[in-house]
Amino acid sequence: MAFPRLVLICLVFLSFSFSWAAPAPSYQSLLQCLTKTIGSAKVSSIVLPPSNLNYKSVLIARAHNARFNRPTTPKPAAIITPLEPAHVSAAVNCSQMVGFQIRTRSGGHDYEGLSYVSDMPFVMIDMFNLRDITINMADESAWVGAGATLGQLYHNIFSKSPVHGFPAGVCPTVGAGGHISGGGYGTLIRKFGVSTDHVVDAKIVDANGKILDRKGMGEDYFWAIRGGGGGSFGVILAFKIKLVPVPKTVTVFRVERSLADKGTDIAFKWQSVAAATDPNLFTRMLLQPVKIKNKPSVRVTIMGLFLGDANGLVTLLNKDFPELGLKKQNCTEMRWIDSVLWWANYEIGTSPKVLLDTSNKDATKFVKRKSDYVQKPIPIKSLESLWKVMMENGEVGLTCNSYGGKMNQIKETETAFAHRAGNLYKIQYSLNWNDPSKKTDDNNLKQARVVHKFMTPYVSNNPRRAYMNYRDIDIGTAKTWSYAEGKSYGTSYFAGNYDRLVAIKTKVDPKNVFRNEQSIPTRK
């Protein structure tokens, strides 16, 4: 008699203790906590449950990869759209108390959707309302809200001064919050480094819901959010950045070559020229699978931005890269802000005002990206093998972005962004498609992996480096957030900086409040 009763008691106790230890987080309790903290009027204007009429449109407004915008994709239990720092703090405090995971989204360009998808019950803090940009021309600096886009930043700088700019990404709808914390590179990288290199202060909400600036967070914490990514350390409210000087006139060009027209030689030579030439010249090489007269081939395109006039550019390239055959008529002189539009594929003459357009044109675009760093030129023979692999896997394009210049002068440990001297260029493998079928997904993801695998002997190794802002979950994910698990993607993204990031994470977020599939783990 006694025995079954004991079992019964144990079962009752177990189920009780289970539900006591891990109650399913409920939207109602989140609402109660938020109401207590910031008042019901504020709550009703910033908290969107799935039943809210605006929930769907807000969710999609900054979901830039249709792979994570399917009916089956897990959705947040609530979207919180803070209007002021205290709302972010309340969201962090209450989500933790109730047991929701937190995903923070600024521009929503995470290639794996980690800012708006989680397989745990979660709330999304969507930062788009915190997008103030305040420019101070006296000390050539700016405070940039995490929810501002790069386009808004570039436009605001331009409206104050045509000879100032900021080294950051090419796509105008990318958000400051994710971009700057993860590095941030663009066409000024060889002259000025990455965005992170120009951050002089920041405001963050930490795991305790405290609002800290650089002084409050301390130099270790401040170091970690410059390149270590946003998802691991808190919710960034704003960055203070230093602007950089740009000339009144810059020059752009674009040259296309087929393989029949010495494309392979051009691609080979580009690899050693691009990282060694004058830092005023940034070039990008596109390698794209194409069909020429119905037969698969590869097109080699070189695009460039020169911080100077067309004469200067032609003189430089005739010295460093005569094979390209660049003439003055192949160049277009313009203002720096117009070059921003040019790189973003706008027609020459488009008004800079389009940079203020934050509408999401990617909502139905399916994408996959991977990355690599190349440290010695790939030989001609191997390029020819690459062309073959690209023709067989006809969806994968390679965008090669030159390094060198300023990047060689900044130590790997200066910020958490570790990819510095020794890299000739970074490759972005890219695939875009429109067909929502699972089969196309599988096929394209497979193609990306095949080409990436083929490249193994030609790219950095031990660790095989990758750019965190080109998020790629193929390189490893955390399930228990152990040090060893994190090491797979952590050393790819951060090389020797991984250990310091783990130490800082352990100190500032010991309960691992801010986490995602590729966040920095804590270590006991």
Ligand X SMILES: *[C@@H]1O[C@H](CO)[C@@H](O)[C@H](O)[C@H]1NC(C)=O
Ligand Y SMILES: Cc1cc2nc3c(=O)[nH]c(=O)nc-3n(C[C@H](O)[C@H](O)[C@H](O)COP(=O)(O)OP(=O)(O)OC[C@H]3O[C@@H](n4cnc5c(N)ncnc54)[C@H](O)[C@@H]3O)c2cc1C
Binding positions for ligand Y, rule: CB under 6 A: 64, 103-111, 114-115, 127, 146, 169-171, 174-175, 177-179, 181-186, 229-231, 235-236, 469, 516
Binding mask 190-209 for ligand X (x = CB under 6 A): ------------------xx
Q: Select the binding partner of residue 155 from ligand X, ligand Y, none (C-beta < 5 to 8 A, by kind).
A: none
Distance, in Å, from the CA atom of 111 to the CA atom of 174, rounded to the nearest integer, reads 11
Continuous H helices in 47-84: 55-61
Note if 470 is an active site residue: yes
Q: Which of 58, 97, 255, 503 binds ligand X (CB under 6 A)?
A: 255
Choosing from 470, 489, 493, 498, the catalytic residue is: 470
Binding of ligand X by 276 (CB under 6 A): no
Contact of residue 241 among ligand Y, ligand X, none (CB under 5-8 Å per partner type)? none
Instruction: Output 277 or 518, the one with its CB closest to ligand Y.
Output: 518
CA 61 to CA 465: how far, in whole Å? Answer: 32
User: Residue 268 and residue 376: Cα distance in Å, rounded?
Assistant: 11
Site for ligand X in 207-236 (CB under 6 A): 208-210
Taking phi over 0 as left and psi of -120 to 50 as alpha, with beta for the rest, 247 belongs to beta
Q: Which of ligand Y, ligand X, none interacts with 469 (beta carbon under 5 to 8 A by kind)? A: ligand Y
208 binds, among ligand Y, ligand X, none (CB under 5 to 8 A by kind): ligand X
* Residue closer to ligand X (CB basis): 42 or 426: 42
Cα Rg, the chain, nearest whole Å: 24
CA-based nearest residue to 420, from 335, 322, 496, 508: 496
146 binds, among ligand Y, ligand X, none (CB under 5 to 8 A by kind): ligand Y
Based on the shown chain and the rule CB under 6 A, indicate whether residue 332 belongs to the binding site for ligand X: no
Q: How far is the CB of 256 from ligand X (least distance, A)?
A: 7
Partner in contact with 175, chosen from ligand X, ligand Y, none, beta carbon below 5 to 8 Å by kind: ligand Y
**Residue 487 near ligand X by CB under 6 A:** no
Give the DSSP per-residue string, 489-500: HHHHHHGGGHHH
For residues 168 and 150, the answer to whether their CB atoms sit within 8 Å is yes
Site for ligand X in 66-95 (CB under 6 A): 86, 89-90, 93
Taking CB under 6 A as the criterion, the residue among 39, 325, 436, 510 binding ligand X is 325
By CB under 6 A, is residue 251 in contact with ligand X?
A: no
Query: How long, in residues, is the chain?
Result: 524
Compute the least distance from the CB of residue 109 to ligand Y, in Å.
3
* Minimum distance, C-beta of residue 325 to ligand X, in the bound complex (Å): 5
Q: Give CA–CA dist 292/446, Å, rounded.
A: 25
| Between 330 and 382, CB nearer to ligand X | 330
Residue 37 binds ligand X, judged by CB under 6 A: yes
Q: Of 434, 401, 395, which is closest to residue 298 (Cα–Cα)? A: 395
Distance CA 238, CA 220 (A): 18
Q: Between 92 and 396, name the residue whose CB sits nearer to ligand X.
A: 92
Query: In degrees rounded to 5, what are phi and psi of residue 260?
Result: -65, -25
- 291-298: list long-range contacts, CB under 8 Å, 24+ apart: 292/258, 292/260, 296/391, 296/394, 297/258, 297/259, 297/387, 297/391, 298/259, 298/263, 298/387, 298/390, 298/391
Residues annotated as catalytic are 470
Residues that bind ligand X (CB under 6 A): 37, 86, 89-90, 93, 208-210, 255, 325-327, 329-330
